[in-house]
Amino acid sequence: MKPTTTILAILFLLSIPNLIPAQGRVLVISGGGARGAWGGGLAQALHESGKDYQVVIGTSTGSLLAPLAVIDSFARLEEAYTNVTHKDIFNVRPFYTKGKKKGQVRGFNAFWRIITGRKTLGESKRLRKAITEYFTEAEYKTITESPDSLEIIATVVNLQADSTEYKSSRDY
C-alpha cells in the first residue's frame, strides 16, 4: 500500500474517535491487493491467541477480508485469497498477470479507456459476484444482529476527490 493511503487511513481513524468502542479491541487491516492476505493471517493469529476484537476496519482489500475476519471464518478467507484470480475480479484487466510483462499496465486497454473517457484503467464488475461467493447474506446478518456488538467498517480512499469515506455495518 502506498504511504499516502496509509497516512489517510490513520488520519481517518484519529478523526473519528466515536467509531472505536470504549471497551474491546479494534483490528485495522490495510490494503495491498493480494499482499493484503497478510492481514488475514494476522487476524487469525490474534484470534488463536485469544486476542479477539469487536470491530474490524479495513481499507481496500482489507475491507474485503474484514467481514470474514470479524466472524472468525478464516478457512473461507484463505480459500478466497488463494482461489480468486484477476479474471474473477476484472472484466477489463488493467495489468498483465503472466510473463515478462507481469505487473505492467496493459497499454492498449489503458489507451482505449483513456480516449473513451473512462476514469479507471480497468473495470471490476465481476468483483461483486466474487464477494457474494465467499460472504453470504446470512453471514452479514450474523454481524449486524450480533449480541457481541460486532462491526465492520470499510474505508475507501478516493484519490480523485482527495477524500476518505467509510461505511459501517451498523448503518444498514
In 10-79 the beta strands, taken as DSSP E runs, fall at: 26-29, 55-59
Write out pLDDT tens, residues 35-72. 777 888 888 998 899 887 878 888 888 888 888 888 88
Cα gap 68→62, rounded to integer Å: 10
Predicted model pTM: 0.67
Cα–Cα distance for residue pair 167/101, rounded to 1 Å: 36
Q: Which residues of the chain have pLDDT under 70?
A: 1-24, 159
- Let me know: does 55 contact 46? Beta carbons within 8 Å: no
Written as nine digits, the cell of 57 is 476496519
Query: 64: exposed, middle or buried (C-beta count within 10 Å: 0-12, 13-18, 19+)?
Result: buried
pLDDT given at position 75: 92
The predicted pLDDT at position 98 comes to 84
